[in-house]
Amino acid sequence: METQIKRPVSGDLPDEIIEKHRGKPGMLLTILEEIQERNQFKYLPGETLAEIARRLQIPYTQVYSVATFYSYFNLKPQGKHTIVVCRGTACHTKGSKALLDDIPGILGYKRDVDDGDSSFTTPDNLFTLKTVACFGQCAQSPVVEVDGVIHSSVNARKLLQIMNKLKEEETTKVLSYEAV
């Protein structure tokens, strides 16, 4: 009747991250950040959040509250490549909404990604598309960040180039694997 949330197997988690920060102010944020970084798919699975709460003896709901508040934390597996479109005012006036709308199509999917912290990850787990409120790079708007690199003054053509390069990279990899 009542299914409890599964406890993860002990040893699943990088213990030393928790122990290193235990008791320090703001420990929860640091721990969440480092554990997400360590995760293969750059996200925080539910079991991990539960384990952190249990180890730190803080309410489970508090961990969830923090993890959902900051858009930095991902609760779903992220694609290998992350594309972040800036949706700040400056970028918006320079057409960032059109860029955002174009990207799923370029990747071969029909999907709307709205503003805020919703994101879209392609089913093959290669690409994640997200938005951000502002990168603080307004002078070079509109900006799009790809795998941590900010591309400035992006227009439809430039976006296509960037995306095609990414896609090519992945196709070549698949081909070279097949050749082996």
Partner 1 sequence: MEVRINNQIIQAAEGTTIMEACRLAGIHVPSLCYLKDVSQNASCGVCVVEVKGAKSLLRSCITRVTGGMEIMTNSARAMEARKLNVELLLANHPQDCLICDRNGNCELQELTFTLGINEKRFVRTRKEHYEKDESSLSLVRDPEKCILCGRCVAVCSNVQNVKAIDFSGRGLKTRVSTFLDAGLGQVPCTNCGQCALVCPTGAITEKSSVAEVRALLHHPEKVVLVQTAPAIRVGIGEAMGMPFGSLVTGQMVAGLRRLGFTKVFDTNFAADLTIVEEGSELLRRIQTGGRLPMITSCSPGWIKFIEHFYPEQLDHLSTCKSPQQMFGAVAKTYYAEKTGIDPRDIVVVSIMPCTAKKYEARRPEMDGAYLYWKERLHLTEEERFYDVDYSLTTRELARMFREAGIAFAKLPEEAFDNPLGESTGAAVIFGSTGGVMEAALRTAYELYTGEKLGSVDFQSVRGLQGIKEADVNLNGTILKVAVANTLKNAGLLLDQIKNGTSPYSFIEIMTCPGGCLGGGGQPIPTNAEIREKRAASIYLEDAHKAIRKSHENPEIIRIYEDFLKEPLGERSHHLLHTHYQERGY
Among 19, 37, 65, 156, binds partner 1 (CB under 8 A): 65
Residue among 65 and 164 whose Cβ is closer to partner 1: 65
Q: 97-126 mask for partner 1 (x: CB under 8 A)?
A: -----------------x-xx---------
Q: Which tokens belong to 4?
A: 């409890």
Which of 143, 137, 166 is CA-nearest to residue 95?
143
Cα–Cα distance between 96 and 93 in angstroms, integer? Answer: 7
- Which residues lie closer than 8 Å to 133 by C-beta, 6 or more apart? 87, 88
Give the E-state strand segments of 133-170 in sequence order.
144-146, 149-151
Q: How far is the CB of 177 from partner 1 (least distance, A)?
A: 36
- Which residues lie closer than 8 Å to 94 by C-beta, 6 or more apart? 141, 142
Angle at 34 between CA 137 and CA 78, to 5 degrees: 65
Among 8, 14, 41, 60, binds partner 1 (CB under 8 A): 60
Among 20, 54, 76, 173, binds partner 1 (CB under 8 A): 54
Interacting span for partner 1 (CB under 8 A) from 8-16, 65-73, 100-108, 164-172 = 65-73
Residue among 119 and 159 whose Cβ is closer to partner 1: 119
Q: Which residues bind partner 1 (CB under 8 A)?
A: 1-5, 7, 46, 49-50, 53-54, 59-65, 68-71, 114, 116-117
